[in-house]
Amino acid sequence: MLVANGLTLSPSLALDDSWIPPVPGKIVRPFSQPITIYAAGHRGVDFAADAGTPVRAANSGVVSFSGDVAGAQHAVIAHGNGIRTSYSFLATNNVVTGQSIRRGQVVGTTGGTGGDHTGSVFHFGVRIGDRYVDPMLLFAPPDLTEMVRLVPLAERTGADTPDPAAEQREFTRLSISEPDNCAGMVGDLAGMVGMGGVVETACDVLDVVVDAGLRALRATGAAGEELANEIVPVIRAVLQEMRERGVGLAQAAQSVMGDLAAAAVNVMTVIVEAGVSIYEKMTTCPQPQPKARGAGSGNLVLAVAGLSSSRSRDSSGEVGPSFSFAATALGYSLSDVSYFSYRPDGDTYSPRQTYEDLPTKARLLGEQIKALGVANPGRAIDLVGHSQGGVVIDLFLTQIYRGHADEFPVLANVVTFASPHEGTPLATVGDAIDHSPAGPSVKASLSFSPQPSPVGKLSVAQLSQGSPLITELWRNGLPRGIRFLSIVGSEDPVVPSSSGDVPDSPKVIVQAGAPFVPDDHSAILHDDDAISAAQVHLAGGSPAMNCGPLSDVSGEIYSQVLNAGAQKINQLGTLRATVLASP
């Protein structure tokens, strides 16, 4: 018999030697162990149960929580020694907090819904302290006595004290349907292709990363907890879609994997490479191998660099490029390449000039295009932009060039790399920091950087999603006669792929740099797929558009997360200011 330490049970309510299942149905979804208390997983078991089935207490105890959370009824019974059982998604709830309850007494009835729990299942959970354990351990030897001994007394003692607010947060998390951990999501996929060990290792890393992010977010307090709850359903939807598509791919590849089974090391290598390849194909638009030198357009090119770029003179007095792009591979002679200057009275400029008003820079671009045309009469001009430089080009085309094409040299092609044509959520966060009451302290924490922080600068505010500049940018579309290609990275932390759309123009998504390493923003300028797509476009063709089914998903998730974060920054800053101002 278990002895209750932190919770006083009357002799008539002492724990029985055996525990009983709360409902008689079979298990339709088993327990999936979270790697920490904040990690993904299935924190309990789901029993098949017709709506209206009585739910009975697994053992005697005291109700430590009972109530509605996110539209569903939940109850928790504390059994002493840190053991709690939870009864979730009830249609009716017959108990109240503080009530003593006997083993087998009816807690409520099944039929409630929430998260991914339908009215045909009942969710049952068990915690020792704050640690979830497999509930089925209650009903088979050894009992929980040995497991309880492994959990520190301090953890168990706290669990016996009712904390309705903490329980409500826990059930809110359950109601928004957290994803299973990585191993649970891809377990059957791993089994199909014999890659269990590789998948387990990869999943361990992924789960730790996801867990660390959610844990850090929740540790910031109630607002962070709320933001985490908003993020998790999006993660779950993406994992589920990848899992469903991945299973089909695995079935098709099963025979190939079987042929390689004899060479274990080779199999593992092939699987890892195949996994990366599958991921890239699902999230990008693969292109043919680029040529060493493309056919090119035969035009001049004016290249426009992005935020925090600069252009200076070398020791010999020559003005260097403002950024590095594959001009020769794109078919341009170096003598045909010119670089835009953010400074109106000279070829050189500093990062500070890139933080200034973008429409003013667009007018400056128009002046430099005219000057290039005067110096090279009869030559058409292409424009190439990186990051913010692409938006400067956008503003020139939509606000300066439109209706005045006859005042400029012929503009033939535009290619942009990693440009936020619809704004960038990172700028949205920066703008939120700048306008938050907590902004000064946040910006002060960035002062360790040797470069001036762009946070709070005008151009960053103008690049934020929803800014007046971005809202009005494409109101009248792209001027006629401009061949525009937008190339973006699938893992770009600065400009998500979903922010790179230009009206009525192709967009190519590439996986630049190392797989799963967020270095796309700079690596994209020399990526083979990016160069190949640009080569085809500049030669008058159309890049391959066989984009994967999840090509913009990661960008959408990233945008949603950062936009939600921007809102929370404003809320937290306002709250902080209110607290500081209170007497």
6-20, 274-288, 325-339, 394-408 — which is least confidently predicted?
6-20
The pLDDT confidence band at residue 575, using thresholds 50, 70 and 90, is very low
What's the rounded Cα separation, in Å, for the pair 443 and 452? 10
Percentage with pLDDT > 70 across the chain: 58
* pLDDT value, residue 521: 85
Say how far residue 231 (Cα) sits from the centre of its chain: 8
On whether the CB atoms of residues 486 and 390 are closer than 8 A, the answer is yes
- Higher per-residue confidence, 50 vs 259: 50
- Residue found by looking up tokens 């904390």 in the block: 163
Which one has a higher pLDDT value, 548 or 80? Answer: 80
The number of helices, as runs of H, and strands, as runs of E, in the chain is 16, 16
Report d(CA 308, CA 323) in Å as an integer: 11
The CA distance from 247 to 278, in Å, is 12
Beta strand ranges found along 356-410 (DSSP E): 381-386
At residue 132, the pLDDT reads: 81
Scored b (16 or more CB within 10 A) or e, 253-272 reads beeebeebeeeeeebbebbe
pLDDT, average across residues 424-438: 59
What pLDDT is stored for residue 449 in this prediction?
38
pLDDT value for 479: 94
Q: How far apart are CA 191 and CA 471, in angstroms?
A: 49
Domains and CATH numbers, the chain: 11-174 (2.70.70.10), 182-282 (no CATH), 300-425+477-574 (3.40.50.1820)
Percent of the chain with pLDDT over 90: 40
Helix (H) or strand (E) holding 414: strand 411-417
What is residue 514's predicted lDDT score, i.e. its pLDDT? 63
**176 alpha-carbon distance from chain centroid:** 17
pLDDT in tens, 179-233: 444 444 333 333 333 333 333 333 433 444 445 455 555 555 565 566 556 555 5
- Is the pLDDT at 2 greater than 70? The verdict is no
User: Is the pLDDT score of 137 beyond 70?
Assistant: yes
438-456 confidence digits (pLDDT tens)? 445 444 433 333 345 566 7
Residue 465: band (very low, low, confident or very high) from pLDDT cuts 50, 70, 90:
confident
Structure tokens at 436: 């938050």
Beta-bridge partner residues of 87: 75, 124
Task: Tell me what pLDDT residue 461 has.
Answer: 87
What is the widest separation between alpha-carbon atoms in the chain?
101
Tokens of 252: 């098709």
List the beta strands (DSSP E) in 94-171.
100-101, 106-110, 121-128, 131-133
- Please choose, from the candidates 471, 519, 482, 530, the residue with its C-alpha nearest in 3D space to the C-alpha of residue 504: 482
Is residue 264 over pLDDT 70? Answer: no
Given a cut of 80, whether residue 163 has pLDDT beyond it is no
Alpha-carbon span 76 to 527, nearest angstrom: 55
Q: How far apart are CA 467 and CA 520, in angstroms?
A: 25
Confidence of residue 177 (pLDDT cuts 50, 70, 90): very low
Q: Each residue of 338-361: pLDDT tens digit?
A: 999 999 988 999 999 999 999 999
Handedness of CA 489, 493, 495, 496 (dihedral sign): positive
Decide if pLDDT at 106 tops 70: yes
Q: CA geometry: angle at 279 spanning 489 and 526, to 5°?
A: 35
| More confident: 515 or 438 | 515
Interacting residues of 343 by C-beta distance below 8 A, sequence separation 6+: 349, 350, 353
How far CA 447 is from CA of 236, 431, 440, 452, 454, in Å, comes to 37, 17, 11, 7, 11
Using the predicted structure, report yes or no on whether residue 119 has a pLDDT greater than 60: yes
Which segment, 176-180, 338-342, 513-517, is predicted with the most confidence on average?
338-342
Q: What is the 3-state secondary structure (H, E, C) of 225-252?
A: HHHHHHHHHHHHHHHHHHHHHHHHHHHH
* C-beta separation of 117 from 106 below 8 A: no
Residue type at 26?
Answer: K
pLDDT for position 573? 47
Q: Quick one: pLDDT at residue 205?
A: 38
pLDDT band at 425 (very low <50, low <70, confident <90, very high): confident
Rounded to whole angstroms, the Cα distance separating 304 from 351 reads 13
pLDDT value, residue 250:
41
Is the pLDDT assigned to residue 157 strictly greater than 80? no
For every residue of 424-466, DSSP letters joined together read: BHHHHHHHHHHHSTTHHHHHHHTTTSSSPP-TT-HHHHHHBTT
Other residues' Cβ atoms within 10 Å of the Cβ of residue 583: 2
Cα–Cα–Cα angle for 63, 69, 72, rounded to 5 degrees: 95
- Token pair for residue 394? 């956008």
pLDDT band (50, 70, 90) for residue 457: confident
Q: What is the pLDDT of residue 435?
A: 56
Look over the chain and give the mean of its residue pLDDT values, rounded to a whole number.
74
Residue 252 has pLDDT above 50, yes or no: no
Looking at residue 204, its pLDDT comes to 39
Q: Quick check: 63 pLDDT over 70? A: yes
Output the pLDDT for position 305: 96
Pairing label, strands 45-48, 27-29: antiparallel
Residue 319 forms beta bridges with which residues? 313
pLDDT recorded at residue 230: 57
Residue 270: predicted pLDDT: 41
Tell me how far apart the alpha carbons of residues 204 and 238 are, in angstroms, rounded to a whole number.
18
